[in-house]
Homo-oligomer: A and B are copies of this chain.
Amino acid sequence: MFRKLMTLEEARKAIANQFKPALLADEIAVLLEAYNRVLAEDAVSTLDIPPFNRSTMDGYAVKSEDTFGADENQPAKLKVVGAVAAGEQPTLVLRKGEAVEIVTGAPIPEGADAVVMIEDTEREDDDLQVFVTVAANENVMKLGADVKKGDVIFKKGQVLGSSEVGVLAAMGLTSVKVLRIPMVAVLSTGGEVTEPGKPLPPGKIYDINSYSLSTAVVECGGKPVYFGVVPDDKAALHKAMVTALASADMVITSGGVSVGPRDYTPQIVDSLGKPGIVVCGIAVKPGKPTTIGFVGEKPVFSLPGNPTSALLIFYLLARPIILQLAGRPLAQMKIVKAVAGAKMFSAKGRRTFVMVKLMFDDSCRLIAQPVETGAAGAITTLAKADGFVEIPENEQFVDTNQEVAVALFRSVLGKP
Q: Which residues of A contact B (CB under 8 A)?
A: 31-32, 34-36, 47, 49-52, 54, 56-58, 85-90, 103-107, 139, 141, 145-147, 153-154, 159-174, 190-193, 196-198, 200-216, 218-219, 224, 226, 232, 258, 260, 305, 307, 311, 328-332, 375-380, 382-383, 385, 409-411, 414-416
Question: Counting chain B CB atoms within 10 Å of each CB, which of A166, A168, A171 scores highest?
Answer: A166
Q: List the 9 shortest-distance A-B pairs measured between CB atoms, nearest first.
A: A166-B212, A86-B192, A169-B211, A87-B192, A87-B191, A331-B414, A89-B203, A174-B197, A162-B216
Interface CB pairs A-B, < 8 A, 24: A32-B226, A54-B205, A86-B190, A87-B232, A88-B203, A104-B305, A106-B203, A145-B376, A146-B378, A153-B380, A161-B416, A163-B383, A165-B214, A166-B211, A166-B311, A166-B383, A167-B382, A169-B196, A170-B205, A170-B379, A172-B196, A173-B197, A329-B415, A330-B414
Chain B contacts for A197, CB-based, 8 A: 172-174
Q: Is the CB of B311 within 8 A of A162?
A: yes
Q: Is the CB of A192 within 8 A of B105?
A: yes
Say yes or no: A58-B258 contact (C-beta < 8 A), given A106-B203, A203-B88, A305-B105. Answer: yes
Q: Is the CB of A31 within 8 A of B196?
A: yes
Chain B contacts for A305, CB-based, 8 A: 104-105
Chain B contacts for A204, CB-based, 8 A: 51, 87
Say yes or no: A52-B379 contact (C-beta < 8 A), given A211-B166, A414-B331. Answer: no
Say yes or no: A415-B159 contact (C-beta < 8 A), given A106-B203, A141-B376. Answer: yes
Copies assembled: 2
5 additional contacts (CB under 8 A) given A146-B380, A331-B415: A87-B190, A105-B377, A146-B376, A165-B211, A166-B215
Chain B contacts for A416, CB-based, 8 A: 36, 159, 161, 328-329, 331
Chain B contacts for A216, CB-based, 8 A: 162
Say yes or no: A147-B206 contact (C-beta < 8 A), given A87-B192, A104-B258, A162-B311. Answer: no
Chain B contacts for A85, CB-based, 8 A: 191
Q: Is the CB of A167 within 8 A of B379?
A: yes
Q: Is the CB of A383 within 8 A of B190?
A: no
Chain B contacts for A36, CB-based, 8 A: 416
Question: Counting chain B CB atoms within 10 Å of each CB, which of A86, A107, A380 scores highest?
Answer: A86
Q: Is the CB of B191 within 8 A of A89?
A: no
CB distance from A117 to the nearest CB of B (A): 10
CB distance from A52 to the nearest CB of B (A): 6
C-alpha gap A56/B267 in the complex (Å): 26
Chain B contacts for A106, CB-based, 8 A: 192, 203
CB distance from A84 to the nearest CB of B (A): 8
C-alpha gap A226/B57 in the complex (Å): 29
C-alpha gap A173/B57 in the complex (Å): 59
CB distance from A264 to the nearest CB of B (A): 14
Q: Is the CB of A385 within 8 A of B31?
A: no
Q: Chain B residue with minimal CB distance to A221?
A: B416
Q: Is the CB of A205 within 8 A of B159?
A: no
C-alpha gap A58/B288 in the complex (Å): 15
Chain B contacts for A218, CB-based, 8 A: 35
Q: Is the CB of A161 within 8 A of B193?
A: no
Say yes or no: A377-B56 contact (C-beta < 8 A), given A88-B191, A89-B202, A191-B88. Answer: yes
Chain B contacts for A411, CB-based, 8 A: 331, 411
Say yes or no: A215-B376 contact (C-beta < 8 A), given A87-B192, A89-B202. Answer: no
Chain B contacts for A164, CB-based, 8 A: 383
C-alpha gap A198/B329 in the complex (Å): 34
C-alpha gap A383/B379 in the complex (Å): 42
Chain B contacts for A226, CB-based, 8 A: 32
Name the one of B34, B90, B213, B376 contacting A56, with C-beta atoms under 8 angstroms.
B376
C-alpha gap A260/B232 in the complex (Å): 74
